[in-house]
């Protein structure tokens, strides 16, 4: 299974936790993990390789060349890294048909095989939406020129149809959209994905594939869902991907939420893995 | 590592969850699991073997002979099974030096190797206490004739020094104690362990080796522990054994607690294990 991550050196610990959860929750899957970056050092990659259980996980260093997005609109607020997701098909090896992009502030607690095998047809992406409020949906749709009935997706979990993108993606269309919308973009890459590709994106169930504390709390507080509330048992059995998006991060003291326990569980496993490895390679007395 | 469990056929599912958590949280340990019982059938053992991941787990059927506790005081309220823990040294194979008894309403979330290697000296048992209240401690001590400073231990997690017990345990002493105390015993085997062996039992930290929702809530509500409260991160990193003792069971609808999430997590892993195994042995089309 192909996994794409993009990160800077501040997020290596979270990446180790995420990859530990990914491999533990999918023990029969081999992973090729493509790390797209502009600034990671050899030491960073050493640390990444030491931090994770590599037996089922092949780490591939993708230093994205500066030149690749030469004509792209770039400002301090919109650095080149914002194109790594949208234009994954431009720099990833040609033999890859699809890849699953995962933010590093994620843990995987159940199988993602079904998601990965999703029939994508001629769609470019699959992603889940955290926006259920009708008014917010409308505001986003107007702001970004989206078809009215489309949902604003969260791009932290993004299944990418590389084969289709290679055939039919227009780089110019994206550049033009950014140049036109510049001032209205809040989350650059996520807004662009929504604005340009809403009609080419398959909606996923956020409760299963992109569950955040905020989404869960809003869902359970909605009187419409009274008979169908999701408790920790439902989540442990049915949710595959938990996403600590926004500012409420379980590695911060200020964290408040019920889903952090999964992060702590895999954080502890990741820590022990490193311990074990460093013990097992220590010279015998 | 030797594990002792005793159960009837109503608790096989919980046993499967417990053993799944045990092997997952101690992936480099081989387990010999002795199942002491009077009434399990061959079908029950088939179910047990199908329900667990056997590769690191050797299940040993110990049908305890009726005759073994012939002179023991037995009533409807105190069946023979109450002696399985106290007299483990009497019926387990002689080559076993020690064994860890675990209730089936337990999940193991971290390594128990340190516990298992505990230096027991000439002590018979090691166990944790849930009783911190001074008045309750005193009541139990008086009721059971315990030394005043000793703590009333919970017998759900019990490290048993078989070698020492074989040498120095007096069966008659236990029978005599039961005959004298009969009417004052509330939890027969636990009371007897406390009453007869308080001075031969090493205290363990309940927060690490026998954590219940009730114990956690009382601890965190105590103003003395204000600066040292235990949150889910501390538990995920430091607690080894969670015990759903009492009536508050996570598999019941009435369950209220924060520790149930660990049960649900391993319940789900146990379920998937069975699925995977039954899939992998199905005939190909």
Contact B236 A265 (CB under 8 A): yes
Q: What pLDDT score was predicted for residue B276? A: 58
Domain boundaries, chain B: 2-280
Q: What pLDDT score was predicted for residue B54? A: 66
Name chain B contacts of A280, Cβ cutoff 8 Å: none
Q: What pLDDT score was predicted for residue B138? A: 81
Question: Average pLDDT of chain A?
Answer: 89
Higher-pLDDT residue of A181 and B226 is: B226
The answer to whether A38 and A64 are in contact (CB under 8 A) is yes
Q: Does A140 touch chain B (CB under 8 A)?
A: no
Q: How many C-beta atoms surround the C-beta of residue A56 within 10 A?
A: 16
pLDDT at B280 > cutoff 70: no
- B56 burial (CB, 10 Å; 0-12 / 13-18 / 19+) is middle
Higher-pLDDT residue of B140 and B228 is: B228
Name chain A contacts of B260, Cβ cutoff 8 Å: 232-233
Rounded to whole angstroms, the Cα distance separating A264 from A244 reads 12
Q: What pLDDT score was predicted for residue B275? A: 62
Residues 6+ apart with CB under 8 A from B69: B80, B83, B87
From the CA of A62, how many Å to the nearest CA of chain B? 33
Mean pLDDT, range B266-285, rounded to an integer: 66
- Which of A111, A260, A271 has its CB closest to that of B232? A260
Q: What pLDDT score was predicted for residue A51? A: 79
Higher-pLDDT residue of A7 and B277 is: A7
- Residue in chain B lying closest to A250 (CA): B233
Rounded to whole angstroms, the Cα distance separating A203 from A206 reads 9
**Alpha-carbon distance values, A147 to A143, A200, A204, B28, B33 (Å):** 11, 11, 18, 54, 60
Mean pLDDT, range B144-148, rounded to an integer: 79
Q: Give one DSSP letter per residue of B90-130, joined into a string.
A: HHS-TT--EEEEE-SSEEE-S--HHHHT---TT-SEEEEE-
Q: A83 pLDDT band (50/70/90 cuts)? A: confident
ipTM of predicted assembly, 2 dp: 0.83
Interface test with A, best of B236, B263, B272, B275 (most A CBs within 10 A): B236
pLDDT at A60 > cutoff 50: yes
From the CA of A42, how many Å to the nearest CA of chain B? 30
- Dump pLDDT digits (tens) for A160-208: 999 999 999 999 998 888 888 776 777 778 888 888 998 999 999 999 9
Query: Which of these ranges, B85-89, B102-106, B128-132, B200-204, has the smallest mean pLDDT?
Result: B128-132
Q: What pLDDT score was predicted for residue B281? A: 43
Q: A253 pLDDT band (50/70/90 cuts)? A: very high
Name chain A contacts of B261, Cβ cutoff 8 Å: 232, 236, 261
Q: A54 pLDDT band (50/70/90 cuts)? A: low
Q: B240 pLDDT band (50/70/90 cuts)? A: very high
Rounded to whole angstroms, the Cα distance separating A212 from A260 reads 10
From the CA of A53, how many Å to the nearest CA of chain B? 13
From the CA of A278, how many Å to the nearest CA of chain B? 15
Rounded to whole angstroms, the Cα distance separating B11 from A284 reads 45
Contact A232 B271 (CB under 8 A): no
- Dump pLDDT digits (tens) for A98-121: 999 999 999 999 999 999 999 999
Q: B74 pLDDT band (50/70/90 cuts)? A: confident
Name chain A contacts of B276, Cβ cutoff 8 Å: 28
Q: B285 pLDDT band (50/70/90 cuts)? A: very low
pLDDT at B283 > cutoff 60: no
pLDDT at B229 > cutoff 70: yes
- Dump pLDDT digits (tens) for A122-166: 999 999 998 877 888 888 788 788 887 778 889 999 999 999 999
Interface test with B, best of A13, A25, A29, A233 (most B CBs within 10 A): A233
Contact B236 A110 (CB under 8 A): no
Rounded to whole angstroms, the Cα distance separating B241 from A157 reads 34
Q: B136 pLDDT band (50/70/90 cuts)? A: confident
Higher-pLDDT residue of A53 and B12 is: B12
pTM for the structure as a whole: 0.88
Count CA atoms within 13 Å of residue B56 on its CB side: 13
Name chain B contacts of A260, Cβ cutoff 8 Å: 232-233
Q: Does B253 touch chain A (CB under 8 A)?
A: no
Q: What pLDDT score was predicted for residue A140? A: 79
What phi, psi does B226 have (nearest 5°)?
-55, -45
- Which of B237, B267, B271 has its CB closest to that of A268? B237
The answer to whether A185 and A178 are in contact (CB under 8 A) is yes
Q: What pLDDT score was predicted for residue B19? A: 94
**Which of the given ranges, A270-274, B168-172, B271-275, B280-284, has the highest pLDDT on average?**
B168-172
Rounded to whole angstroms, the Cα distance separating A11 from A147 reads 35
pLDDT at A284 > cutoff 50: no
Mean pLDDT, range B141-160, rounded to an integer: 85
Q: A275 pLDDT band (50/70/90 cuts)? A: low
Mean pLDDT, range B187-192, rounded to an integer: 81
Superfamily in which the B2-280 domain is placed by CATH: Spore Coat Polysaccharide Biosynthesis Protein SpsA; Chain A (3.90.550.10)
């Amino acid at each position: 299974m192909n996994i794409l991550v993009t990160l800077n050196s501040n997020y290596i610990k979270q990446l180790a936790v995420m990859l530990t959860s990914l491999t533990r929750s999918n023990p029969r899957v081999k992973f090729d993990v493509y790390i797209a970056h502009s600034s990671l050092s050899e030491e960073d990659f050493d640390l990444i390789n030491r931090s994770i259980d590599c037996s089922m996980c092949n780490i591939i260093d993708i230093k994205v060349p500066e030149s690749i997005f030469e004509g792209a609109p770039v400002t301090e607020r919109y650095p080149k890294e914002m194109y790594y997701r949208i234009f994954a098909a431009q720099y990833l090896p040609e033999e890859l048909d699809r890849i699953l992009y995962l933010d590093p502030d994620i843990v995987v607690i159940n199988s993602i095989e079904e998601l990965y095998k999703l029939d994508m047809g001629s769609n470019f992406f699959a992603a889940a939406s955290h926006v259920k409020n009708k008014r917010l949906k409308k505001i986003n749709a107007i702001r970004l020129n989206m078809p009215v009935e489309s949902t604003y997706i969260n791009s932290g979990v993004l299944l990418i149809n590389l084969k289709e993108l290679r055939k039919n993606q227009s780089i110019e269309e994206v550049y033009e959209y950014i140049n036109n919308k510049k001032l209205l973009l809040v989350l650059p890459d996520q807004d662009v994905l929504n604005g340009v590709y809403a009609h080419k994106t398959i909606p996923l169930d956020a409760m299963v594939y992109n569950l955040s504390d905020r989404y869960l709390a809003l869902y359970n507080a909605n009187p419409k869902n009274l008979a169908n509330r999701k408790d920790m048992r439902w989540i442990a059995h049915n949710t595959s991907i938990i996403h600590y998006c926004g500012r409420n991060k379980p590695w911060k003291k200020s964290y408040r939420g019920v889903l952090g326990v999964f992060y702590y569980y895999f954080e502890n496993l990741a820590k022990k893995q490193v311990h074990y490895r460093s013990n097992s390679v220590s010279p015998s007395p």
